[in-house]
Structure 1
Amino acid sequence: MAPTLNIVGAGHVGRALGRLFATRGVFAVQDVLTRSGGSAQAAAAFIGAGRSVDAIVALRPASVWMLAVSDDRIAEVAQQLAASVAMKDAVVFHCSGAKASAELEALRAAGAFVASVHPVRSFADPAQVAAAFDGTFCGVEGDGQALALLVPAFEAIGARVVPIDASAKTVYHAASVFASNYLTTVLDAALRAYQAAGIPAAAARELARPLATETLANVFRLGPEMALSGPIARGDTATVARQQAALSAWDPATGTLYEALASATRTLARRKHGEQT
């Protein structure tokens, strides 16, 4: 018999993972709780298993609990569960990339084994994620007893599990922000600068595309030091100074961004030249 699983917070992440666990027979989805009874029913229908409930007191004891609630509600929900449901020897995990398993301390104190498992991908389309989850990296940390069950469970739905340091969880999550959100911000600065030079938006995207895609390919093939090119890597300080002045005159916020990135890039360039000597 597969261990029973209760899902608290069945938004995009909870629905996608719930469907995967159910369809692959890893866990027997038992109870599904969301902010409203209607959304819980919709979530259970999407998952294809489980009973929708409308209150924590209606949840039955389970072997495994997945908390897929928003980051700022994890500790609150953990406290509510600890006060309402028998948790001794249960495994409880949350899916936040920003918060560590310590957010579940109330449940640990109630006798549960706790962990966090963070799938590193977008869940904008739960159906698409559930259909193509194989190969997804998941950062994990927590109690050994919890991970002993969760690691093979996530591997069974196709995850590539990576242990992380719980004390550095916020830095770990910031890494994803750099790799995704801030990359978008930098590219936006590039596109706006092209347009400031008179290039239409559509053409600006086509100009930036090969630079961005080839640079990304080089970073992942060679590493950031070897992939770095441009005026700072060449030591062309005069060009950097002219660009800084021009950007600051055009758009002060973009000039500030360029200045911050130039400082970080000088550090990267020193690493690059240190490897070559």
Structure 2
Amino acid sequence: MATLNIVGAGHVGRVLGRLFAASGAFQVQDVLTRSAASAQAALPFIGAGAAAAGYARLRRADVTMLAVGDDQIGPACAALAAGGALAGTVLFHCSGALASGELAAARALGAAVASVHPIRSFADPAQVAAEFAGTYCGIEGDAAALALLEPALLAIGARPVPIDAAAKTVYHAAAVFASNYLVTVLDAALRAYQAAGVPEAVARELAQPLVNETVANVFRLGPERALSGPIARGDFATVDRQRRAVGQWDAGSGALYEALVAPTAALARRRRGA
């Protein structure tokens, strides 16, 4: 069984370490965090491994996982490279925003490198570990690294999805559109209802079925067929009235409304051409 060292044992590192160990995909060997105490504290959750007191104390492993913050990937890779003994091993990080090229220092020493990004929230590690099966993971990197990592991911119930390393930042932005910016748009909708005199609690009740049905239609029918409303009908007179009214009510929301007109019109054209 291939051995695995874990550098960084926050929520992601703990969950993946636990799953890899429990499934037998890897034998968890050493766990390194910012302090020996925090590494020791992670071991009961992971269920395997030994706490390492520093990079110099890490034993050679077949695979090393960097489950650290994006700003620490480069320094962690450099520290591993300074210790040598990377030739013939696999090194991967778990960032959604950065590509495997961040590990170039290890690749130069003969390591095969990759990135594995689990596409879900890790706010509750115990729950994620229990319900991880079916989780999509965006993967990219060297063929030798992926040849070892893909079977390990399948063993823990993940669904690996190859992505283009050159478009990694755009890939990560997709999650921002699907999650973060969706919240921003819904906030504007709820505030607009309140501006029309609807109490906040009632505004949520009004919006929820509309939002749920729209999202369900996007994933059932596709964005083109799910689109409805004045732009889909070509009623740009209404759009212009709304744009001006929203801008008068709240300048920021007006700018957001206006910014969405052109891409929505493009989507409507795709709908007509579909």
Length-normalised TM-score, structure 2: 0.98
1:204 match? 203
Query: What's the CA shift string for 1:137-192, capped at 9, x where partnerless?
Result: 01110000000000010000001111111101111110111111111111111111
Matches within 5 A, 1:109-124: 109-124=108-123
Matches within 5 A, 1:162-241: 162-241=161-240
1:33 match? 32
Runs of 4+ deviating beyond 4 Å: none
SS of the aligned residue for 2:114 comes to strand
**In structure 1, how many angstroms separate the alpha carbons of the residues matched to 2:109 and 2:41?**
31
Is the counterpart of residue 59 in structure 1 residue 20 in structure 2?
no
Matches within 5 A, 1:139-154: 139-154=138-153
**In structure 2, how many angstroms separate the alpha carbons of the residues matched to 1:11 and 1:197?**
45
Give the counterpart letter for 1:131 in structure 2. A
Any conservation in 2 of the 1:15–1:43 contact (CA below 8 Å)? yes
**Following TM superposition, by how much is the alpha carbon of 1:195 offset from its aligned partner in structure 2, in angstroms?**
1.1
Give the counterpart letter for 1:165 in structure 2. D
**Following TM superposition, by how much is the alpha carbon of 1:85 offset from its aligned partner in structure 2, in angstroms?**
4.1
2:253 match? 254
**Following TM superposition, by how much is the alpha carbon of 1:54 offset from its aligned partner in structure 2, in angstroms?**
2.8
**In structure 2, how many angstroms separate the alpha carbons of the residues matched to 1:131 and 1:149?**
24
2:43 match? 44
Is the counterpart of residue 94 in structure 1 residue 100 in structure 2?
no
2:265 match? 266
Any conservation in 2 of the 1:67–1:94 contact (CA below 8 Å)? yes
**Following TM superposition, by how much is the alpha carbon of 1:110 offset from its aligned partner in structure 2, in angstroms?**
1.2
Is the counterpart of residue 7 in structure 1 residue 6 in structure 2?
yes
Structure 1 portions without partners, runs of 5+: none
4-13 vs 199-208, greater mean Cα deviation:
199-208
Any conservation in 2 of the 1:60–1:85 contact (CA below 8 Å)? no
Any conservation in 1 of the 2:99–2:115 contact (CA below 8 Å)? yes
Give the % identical residues: 69
**Following TM superposition, by how much is the alpha carbon of 1:203 offset from its aligned partner in structure 2, in angstroms?**
1.1
SS of the aligned residue for 2:198 comes to coil
Is the counterpart of residue 106 in structure 1 residue 100 in structure 2?
no
**In structure 2, how many angstroms separate the alpha carbons of the residues matched to 1:90 and 1:137?**
25
Any conservation in 1 of the 2:84–2:109 contact (CA below 8 Å)? no
1:72 match? 71
**In structure 1, how many angstroms separate the alpha carbons of the residues matched to 2:205 and 2:2?**
51
Is the counterpart of residue 128 in structure 1 residue 148 in structure 2?
no
Length-normalised TM-score, structure 1: 0.97
